[in-house]
A and B are shown apart, each in its own frame.
Chain A
Amino acid sequence: MEALRDEPLWTPAVQRPRSLHEAWELKRTFGRDGVYVAGSTLLRTQWEAGTVSMPKSLIDLRGIEDLADIDEDGGGLSIGALADLSRCRRSAALGHMAPAVQEAVRCIAAPAVRNLATIGGNIASGYGDCLPALLVCDAELAVFDGKFLSRRRVEEWLADRWSGMHPQEDILTGIWLAPPAGPAGSRRIEIFRKVGRREAFTPSLVTVAIGCFIDSEGRLSGVKIAAGGGSGRPQRLDIAEAVLEGASIGKEQLASVFEAVVTQFETYGDPFATVEYKKKTAGNLIVAELWKALEGSAGKGDH
């Protein structure tokens, strides 16, 4: 009978703030006993798995206006943190502005989960599969700190998130994507790839993302490469980027890129995949996608 899991004998209270200020104050009052929620799909699985305790209070952000909007604004794209992943998956504007992000969204969970889960929740976890894609798109995150709403680059936000330095009360309110601007005559390449233990609806083992411009002579510029996966920290791979910046893709560069990725990518082993396997997988994915780009048949996300 122990195999039968039931719900805990108590459930948290739900707070329903109507403004960012109110939500922020509630979090400050509750401290670790209160958690911001929206779709709560990740949190629910963590509670069920016993990896995270159910808090005493849920601070439901869904009652705050405008946090789920997707708006084209000043040439860029603003995505509210509470936009659900299905909406992001269908957004033509997101597909145009940041195809790698949209592909990452497509690869998260399954449609029914994406109907509940929000892009903000995926990011706020600190390791969601959107993050490598956002890193190569130079995205910024809008954060409310109790007084002001400010934008921070994803890399900076991640650094604080993983160092534990960011104030727990901060509220992620949205994502800002500027239109990618490359040299005249160049075209944008954006790629996201995910490898899990099965083909679909599976947590990631390794994710990679590539963003760059390629000119008519095959030279690359603005190269950004990132990797993550599982609950590991998403990270830029700047050694591999440096190999490719200003270069044309050739076999020699690809060999160097592979070595750079395997050397720099910091990840973790688990019972199903060793560190070495994940490093090699990241290297192979990146090189394979670059090769496809060279062949003029880049994978999903290329435009």
Chain B
Amino acid sequence: MDVPPPFATVRDLRVELTRPGRDSRAQQVLKGISLDIRPGEVVGLVGQSGSGKSILGLTLLGALPERSRPAVTGEVRVGGVDVLTASPKTMRQLRREKLGVVFQDPMTSLNPTMRIGAQMVEATGSRQLAIDLLARVGVPEPAARMNVFPHQLSGGLRQRVMIAMAVAGKPALIIADEPTTALDVTVQKQVLDLLAELRAELACSVLMVTHDLGVAGEIADRIVVMRDGEIVESGGVAAILTRPQHEYTQRLIASRISLESDRTRPLPMFEPSGEPEDDELVERIEAETYPVWRPAPGAAPAVTVRSLTKTFAQSRSTTLRALDGVSFEIGAGESVAIVGESGSGKSTILRIVAGLETADRGSVVTLAVAGRPQMVFQDAGASLTPWMRVGELLAERLSVEGVPAREHRERIERALDVVGLDRSVLRIRSRELSGGQRQRVALARAAIVPPAILLCDEPTSALDAWMAANIINLLRHLRHEVGMSMMFVTHDLSVARLIADRILVMRRGVIVEQGAAEEIIAHPREQYTKDLVGAVPDPVFAERAA
């Protein structure tokens, strides 16, 4: 039997980038990568952020950022073209005729000042073809949508448009760089299904770049695991997911948050690229077990929410009812997750409890004896003021809560201990901290005066698997040590299950279902909840069951 030659071949690829601005030292981002992509094959390229996986994708495209003054050695052949030496004209032709690209964030990868139609036609060459393609990728009323601007579409629709542009030239290879990371779980599933369908239709290859083993497992034939610019392991999906050979892959799989992660134990932690060898906190956390929460008899609830209603004006004539009479309580020390798609109203509740938004009707009562409610944002580390020293950031919160200055030192040191940071960070400005340290400081600040409730707004959704596992562990550790109540908003049921004792499922401004976390996942009653459960990509489980 003849094996067709690979469509793309990478041999001993080394890439050095000099990022402008910083200390301007050249950094080796890819350290000798060799990879084949066969015709029709779907390759899942998995790694943490900073592993070089996106740079590999850009190299295949011949699109390394010129500002970083890339120095490239090795060999890269795509569709018979030597990418490293080809003329700009040849590269343009290659991109137009044989390659399609889908980037991560559909909001920023479409031109905001150009109508969808004009952007489509750039790829298709004809208006009719553009409309047909939009219809094919599931954009409703495609002809009308040609005339709108990107910001007038939802995230899922924008990504469909992006995919339509990628497949316009009937490409032989689609490079998809984290195409679903910015999307809700349910939308993620639809987009993955669409990609799989199109791949079958076009019989093209796909390079799926992702930090999520689950996503790679859903769609790929073969998985390639990268770390620090090197390939550590590659093989068939089943082999990698069920019998990973390399220790790094094993840890990636173990730290993956799934519907069957152990709820009583922390997630396995492992070092991200470039973080210092970790400290005793990891050992402390790894020794922890989390007992089932039971309400203390006679304790007042931490938060009582009564018939919250909130309406937003969408335009002059239409309004959106974000919350429609929502009531619930969160017990002292309890952790509750609110789960739903974008637009379900879950973030609005959070913002009202935090005092960032006022309700039209209804009431929120929080425990008066504790500190004010604190927020943990999507990117917790980014919520620190970059030029302030860690000590100042922590003291600021203490002053606001009225803690006398003579107690500051002791409280600050205790907070640092809880998150396992050395006293020496107190004099460091937050922009000089590593990503992991920043997360810890943000959490230390939130917990330094135990708040009536800790409000978490999708703190894992923008992070790769390592960072997500890290912050979930930290949150559970904090709860364990400080005993706070938590309210956790997420679209991902597997995260909700780990962090919460109880789950509220929201849809269109009302709570459609609620119950103990395990119960909701195991026996969802509403179709909507069942869809949410089904959307969690869980190929490891599927492979083992098969």
Say whether A associates with B.
no
B-side interface residues toward A, CB under 8 Å? none
A-side interface residues toward B, CB under 8 Å? none
